[in-house]
Structures are given as C-alpha cells and as structure tokens.
Structure 1
C-alpha cells in the first residue's frame, strides 16, 4: 500500500510477497475489506505514535504541532494516508471493536490537546469541535496534496489551516465573534 497506493493495491501481490496464497490471506482476514481495514488501522496506530512523539518534542505550541503533524504525516506517508480515505466500506460493514479503539486513539489525542487550551466549561463540546477541526485541517491537507492550493496560488496551506484552527479556538474560548 505504501509503495503503490490504494488504487494500484493488490491483496494478491501482498500474498505473493509474503509467501501465502490469496485464499490463506482471506482466511486470516475474512475478506478484502477486512484486510484493508487492518492495514488502515495499522496506519492509524503509526500516525498516533508519530503525533505523540511530535507533541513530546514540540516545546510549547501544541496546536501548531497538531496541524503541522497532520500535514507531515500525510506528506511523508502519502499513499497510506490516502488509502484511509480512498477505501470505502460497504454500508453494512461493522468495524471490529479493536479496530475502532485503535483508530480512535488519534482523535483522543486531538481532543485532549483541544481541551487543554479551552476553558473547562467548554468540555462537553470539545469532542465535537475537535472532530470539526480535524475535518478543517484534512481539507486543507487534501488540497495541498492534490495540488489544488498550488493551482490557486496558495503557497502556505499549513499556515492557512493553522489560522482557521486558531480562529475557531478563539471563538470557542469566548475571545472572538463569528462573522
């Protein structure tokens, strides 16, 4: 997946490289979707560990670190990052509890960091706000990776995303007004 990306990914090629038959691979995971879910869950784990390491080394501006880390992970692990969003599961697919827990660790880190900069009375809204901020940063990052920002003449997508996050946090903390 890291080498070729989701569009060119082949479970058959993985099975061949590790010396298994495709049937054995599907017996282990149950289906192609469950195999890709396992790979993407692993990516979430790597991403969460990378984020914690970057936060530990950040030295202060942890919100900047969150935004920069998002872009850094996506840029460094482009194919793995894109595979998370390119793989679409069937509507009736149920994510196993362990995968759900592992994938949620990244969001828990963001929630923790957002909660740390907001007043205590905002605590009930922090999870919702954190997920919205992740979506904001994700959109900026996607435009960066696809070249859309470059085509628009925007040269600082990280700074743009950080500005939107800071504006939102200022409003949430009562320092600003929307509009």
Structure 2
C-alpha cells in the first residue's frame, strides 16, 4: 500500500535516496532494483519516476551521494594532520573503496549520458578531484611549470587503476601483494619529476 500522503516531495526524495543507497550498498548495481527501493520506502515503483524522472536519474543521485561520502572520508583523514598527506590520500582512496565496494563500483558501472548530470551532480563529483588537486599543489614547488589539473587527473587514474585491479582480484593473480603501496610509489615518482620532495613537510 502506498503512503503518498505521508511525505512531502522533498521528504519522499530523501527517503528514496536513503533506501536506494542502502540497497546499493548491500548488493551493488547488479542486484539493484527500483521496485525493491520503492517497496522498502513503502511506495509503488511509479513513485521513483514521479520524483526522479527515471531510474537512471535515481542512480545518478545515488552515485553523487557516494562521491560526497568519499570526499568526506578523504577530508576526515587529512584533518588528522598526517605527516605524509600524499600517502594519506592514497590510503584513504583504497580504504573507502575497500569498505564500500558495492557503492564504489556502482559509480563506474552505471554509465549514463552526460546530460543526465545536473549542477549538483557535477559539484559532488568534482569535490574529490578538488581535494586531491589542492594537495598536489601544496606538495609541489610554487614555480612548477606543470599543468596541475592534468597531473591531478592522471594521478587519480593511476590510483584508481591500482585500486580496481586490487578489488577485482587481478593483482592477486599477478602476485602483487601491496597494491596501495605500489600506487603510492607511482604517484611519488610522478610528483618527484615535478620537484616533489617527500622528505619535506607539506603546507
């Protein structure tokens, strides 16, 4: 039985996002069902379309929320004041993916047209890159001539590739026993080429 009169539209949106995120965390995108989300919220599946427009739009919103949680996790780790902030970033990246594997994987498994992403979605997805960009800028000499934005995106790709191989089991087959350490080494090598000195404090 639907409960259409129980919630305002904003409350209903929040409820569907909460139940959807919980379901996505439990079984990943492969086991995700709009009908199950609606059922858990106490509504019919048509409510998702009334509120979000489509199931894809709901998934975009769910993945944007995951990006927000991920960025918050990185900021919390950095707020501890680690001596090696670059290492802290890499380790926090791996930790979030490891602790929230289904949510992390859904970000990359759900492929949609760019026009499905609204301003809030773009902002949520850019937050993580902004955090990394700031740390890379702080780690490099002020007079570096490199394009920091491009370097940041490349470094994220390096860490993501290592993380993906680790969680997917590929590194185990390759007998790589420290994917995070390997990713950090590659990041440090790239930064060192731009003048980064790991022995100096950052900030």
- Please indicate the TM-score interval, normalised by the length of the shorter structure: over 0.9
Secondary structure of 2:105's counterpart equals helix
User: Are 1:58 and 1:65, in contact at CA under 8 Å, matched by a contact in 2?
Assistant: no
TM-score (norm 1): 0.93
Could you tell me which residue of structure 1 aligns to residue 120 of structure 2? 98
Question: Given the alignment, which residue of 154, 165, 170 partners 1:148?
Answer: 170
Aligned to 1:128: 150
CA RMSD of aligned residues (A): 1.5
Q: Which residues of structure 1 form unaligned runs of 5+? A: none
The count of corresponding residues between Structure 1 and Structure 2 is 174
1:118-177 CA distances to partner (integer Å, 9 max, x unpaired)?
Answer: 1123376111111110000000000000111011111010110000000000012277xx
State the alpha-carbon separation in 2 of the partners of residues 35 and 154 from structure 1: 37
What stretches of structure 1 move > 2 A for 4+ residues in a row?
121-124
Is the alpha carbon distance of 1:123 and 1:69 closer, same or farther for their aligned partners in structure 2, counting shifts above 3 Å? farther
User: For structure 2, which runs of at least 5 residues remain unmatched after alignment?
Assistant: 1-23, 198-203
Counterparts of residues 9-158 of structure 1 (less than 5 Å): 9-90=32-113, 93-122=115-144, 125-158=147-180
| Structure number with bigger Rg | 2
TM-score (norm 2): 0.82
